Amino acid sequence: MSDNNNNNEKFHEYDGIIEHDNPLPMWWLWTFFLTIIFSFIYFIHYELAGGQTQSEELAAAMAEIEQAQSKAHTSSPMETEESLKAAFGNDGILALGESQYTSKCASCHGAQLQGLIGPNLADKFWVHGKGTRMDIVKVIRDGVAEKGMPPWGPVMKKDEIYAVSAFILAKRGTQAPDAKEPQGEAVEDYLTAQ
Amino acid sequence: MNTGTGSHIEKIFYDDDIVKKFVMATMIWGAAAFVFGLIIATQLAYWPLNTNWEWVSFGRLRPLHTNAAIFAFAGNAIFAGIYHSTQRLLKARMFSDALSKIHFWGWQLIIVSAAITLPLGYTQSKEYAELEWPIDIAITLIWVVFAINFFGTIKRRREKHMYVAIWFYIATIITVAVLHIVNSIEIPVGMLQSYPVYSGIQDALVQWWYGHNAVAFFLTTPFLGLMYYYVPKAANRPVYSYRLSIVHFWALVFIYIWAGPHHLLYTSLPEWAQTLGMIFSLMLWAPSWGGMINGLLTLKGSWHLLRTEPLIKFFVAALTFYGMSTFEGPLLSIKSVSALGHYTDWIIGHVHSGALGWNGMLTFGMIYFLVPRLWKTELYSKKLLENHFWISLTGVLLYYISLVVAGITQGMMWRAVDKDGALVYPDFIETVVRIVPLYWVRALGGLLFIIGFVMMCYNIYKTIKAAPKNQEPESVQVSRSGYDEKNEQPHRKLEGMGLTFSVLAFLAIAVGSVIEIYPTLSLHKYVNPANIVEPHTPLEIAGRDVYIKEGCYTCHSQQIRPIASEVLRYGPASTIEESMYDRPFQWGSKRTGPDLSRVGKKYPNLWHLNHMIDPRAVTPKSIMPNYPWLAEKNTDYLSLRKKLSVLKMLGVPYEDDVVANADIHAQKQAMEIAADLESNGAPKGLEKKEIVALIAYLQSLGQKGKK
């Protein structure tokens, strides 16, 4: 063996355990040095030399998102009662509306729209607006904070909000046995005119 | 001073009885820790297992599992190994048999008291420091008993120089004492309840300085010490490198203590502290690997032993898992990786590769080594040992891989934003449903690990049963050695000086601790007076205590990170001021459910009532437990005056009238909420119940900013 240093000889002994004294592996030592060097540079950059802070990082990311949101908003056509009427007539919309209603709305408005925590959605009484398509879409999208109706705009896609609205309108006038008492103003023509 | 090696032979008896006791305790508490782990893992996959019985719901059992795994299983394993190896390495019987016994029985009593109080809901909600103040005091006393016993043995040693294993034991005993005492400074508000003196970012920083270093100095340094004794012993191979031991020991104890804030990246903790936490975690990579290298290179050239001495397999696996998790740790501490992994199951996978892979496998190897020697017999079945190894290895891998996949999947879903700037998965429950199948795989991994452990129990039982009866303790012949060594290098000299060595180890851990914690003790420097919030009302404090008691923080965070997808999902990033009166802080560390810091006023009161009684009534497919008892148990109004007076003393600006009439104020607010619930169809009389207090608290979250 060419090994002529003491590394592979007994250096110390404790309770029969022999200790050698091999050199530190170079790759290990360099890993240690490089992490230390990187850490110094990182600390100096972010804490002393004015590197991007977390709030600056957030502001940049939010600016990008807001730009995308406003672009999506302006490129989509203006909503009107007529445009919604056309959209609500799409094929299969009621099936999508029903599944969305069951998973997101039924817990507060009842499986038959009869009202539970939230008001009855099938009767002719309206708390917010007068039961137009525009009104229903707006309440679902923006919510009514003081009444505990959460805004679904951030959670549901546009098609899903349309589908749920169409579903609710399609159920108008249905009478569940345990329907909640009326809340809001009666709007007679809502049941017929549309 | 007695000099001259071998000049004077003495006959002494090692105390192996205490080692046997700790070995048995390790096995018993290990079974408990693993079974509780399997139960809560299955609860995540199959919510009905939470039952409608408060004492077994996830939030109560999760702290029991973590405490049992760390302090009962790993704790007793450490003590077994330390009591066995220290006597031999120092050539001295333990300092005092009485202290050994007090240590053993005291520790078991602490575990039993934890097993009783945690399911009953007595908790401080600080992770791995949940136990309430009387138990905290007991832990301190027993730890001091252990320290006296250990340092007394060092004092009486016949081996002048302390081996590297002893260095690690010293660092463990000193640092755990410092961590436990500093993190447990709390003011009692009842027989089994207290509030910490730290609040908000202070409490978060101190808690994770503690929490991270519980991993460092309870699950790493003592096990490295055990590794340095049992690996070369079992393999009968020389330890690879003394100088590597020196470098990695000091680097490890100095650097580890700084790394705590990596649990708080992207929170409202001041950024300088976050950056320190990240870079010290990176620098920790090599010192951690020093131990693995020294262990694996010690085993190099003895691979044939894997056939004849299969217990070596456990040591090889333990060292490999140690290397994996100490690589993954620094990786997860990089801010951008933490942004993805934090709050997800990736972290749970990470800790279990350490806990099951490193601590578990090393403990199993050690016990297989110890039992035949302590009971002076042969192991009952090497075949069974072999099967135990393979089945638990499969279990750990299934566990780890399923949770890493689950964590990364969910993390990616949380952050996905489409081209229109909207969240792709805005409904939190969608991201939960996606990973539930992986929760089943994880539970299967845990089950395999337990099956292996049952094999071990049987193997150990048969071994002990076959041991010769009425064994007399055998004396060993020892002589003082090392006292005549010439030309000692400086570190070699230090190894002969127990007290100086211990003081230096203390200083090594004190530097990082002081530099990180001291500045945040002046909380006012970080608070912007314009953003100061109103404190919680008395009823909200009562509700907050319910939130803590039920362990809500084990699944819900209250900390919105300054990350775009998070702001889209939950609202503006959390501020320092929003948690400035929170004792204890409730930032959480895991999001099995969504963040709650801005849940207030998002839903009507009745929604919360229905949701707590049956979460699936309002969120189909939810995996949250039912909490029917909240509508049955009465709110503890009587203790509110005491609680508010303690909070006021700690600096929360309550008016005197609010403190003096806390219960009356609380009942008044409860009447209002109960009336609202009743008007919407809920039953009468809820104002006395815990559910109303909890609703008051939930409705206040995110609503305390200046009007």
Q: What is the pLDDT of residue B707?
A: 47
The neighbouring-strand residues paired with B423 are: B417
Q: Which of A15, A67, A69 to mutate to test the interface with B (most CBs of B within 10 A)?
A: A15
- CA dist A86 and B550 (Å) reads 50
Any residues with CB less than 8 A from the CB of B327 and at least 6 apart, and which?
A: B285, B289
Together in a domain, A38 and A129: no
Domains held by chain A: number: 2
Q: What is the pLDDT of residue A5?
A: 45
Any residues with CB less than 8 A from the CB of B279 and at least 6 apart, and which?
A: A38, A39, A42, A43
Q: What is the pLDDT of residue B458?
A: 98
Position A43 in a domain = yes
- CA dist B80 and B148 (Å) reads 17
Q: What is the pLDDT of residue B471?
A: 83
Q: What is the pLDDT of residue A146?
A: 74
| Regions of chain B short of the pLDDT cut 50 | 1-6, 707
| Chain A CB contacts of B574 below 8 Å | none
- In total, the C-beta contacts within 8 angstroms joining chain A to chain B are 162
Together in a domain, A161 and A90: yes
| Chain B CB contacts of A103 below 8 Å | 620
**Which helix H or strand E contains A13, and what residues bound it?**
strand A12-14
Q: What is the pLDDT of residue A8?
A: 66
Which CATH number fits the domain that encloses residue A109?
1.10.760.10
Together in a domain, A172 and A94: yes
Position A157 in a domain = yes
Together in a domain, A42 and A96: no
Q: Which residue of B has its CA nearest to A37?
A: B283
Together in a domain, A93 and A152: yes
Together in a domain, A175 and A117: yes
Position A111 in a domain = yes
Q: What is the pLDDT of residue B165?
A: 98
Using the beta-carbon criterion (under 8 Å), do A39 and B285 form an inter-chain contact?
A: no
Using the beta-carbon criterion (under 8 Å), do B603 and A21 form an inter-chain contact?
A: no
| Regions of chain A short of the pLDDT cut 70 | 1-8, 191-194
Any residues with CB less than 8 A from the CB of A58 and at least 6 apart, and which?
A: B562, B563, B564, B567, B573
Position A56 in a domain = no
Using the beta-carbon criterion (under 8 Å), do A24 and B567 form an inter-chain contact?
A: no
Q: What is the span of the domain harbouring residue A122?
A: 81-186
Q: What is the pLDDT of residue B706?
A: 54
Q: For residue A18, which phi and psi values (nearest 5 degrees)?
A: -95, 140
Tokens of B309: 């001495």
Together in a domain, A30 and A101: no
Together in a domain, A175 and A111: yes
Together in a domain, A97 and A166: yes
| Chain A CB contacts of B297 below 8 Å | 22
- B408 burial level (CB within 10 Å; 0-12, 13-18, 19+): middle
Q: Which residue of A has its CA nearest to B270?
A: A54
Q: Which residue has 């963040």 as its token pair?
A: B595
Any residues with CB less than 8 A from the CB of B559 and at least 6 apart, and which?
A: B267, B268, B574, B579, B587, B588, B595, B597
Together in a domain, A43 and A118: no
Q: What is the pLDDT of residue A1?
A: 33
Q: Which residue of A has its CA nearest to B280?
A: A39
Q: What is the pLDDT of residue A73?
A: 78
Position A57 in a domain = no
Q: What is the ipTM of this complex?
A: 0.91
Q: Which of B164, B278, B562 sits opposite A58 (nearest CB)?
A: B562
Nearest-CA distance B266 → chain A (Å): 7
Using the beta-carbon criterion (under 8 Å), do A61 and B603 form an inter-chain contact?
A: no
Together in a domain, A175 and A90: yes
Position A14 in a domain = yes
Inter-residue contact A20 to A9 (CB < 8 Å): yes
| Chain B CB contacts of A62 below 8 Å | 564, 567
Tokens of B173: 């005993």
Using the beta-carbon criterion (under 8 Å), do A154 and B680 form an inter-chain contact?
A: no
Q: What is the pLDDT of residue B579?
A: 94
- CA dist A58 and A51 (Å) reads 14
Position A130 in a domain = yes
Position A155 in a domain = yes
Q: Which residue of B has its CA nearest to A56?
A: B562
How do residues B28-60 score in pLDDT, each as one tens digit?
999 999 999 999 999 999 999 999 999 999 999
| Chain A CB contacts of B286 below 8 Å | 28-29, 31-32, 35
Inter-residue contact B577 to B528 (CB < 8 Å): yes
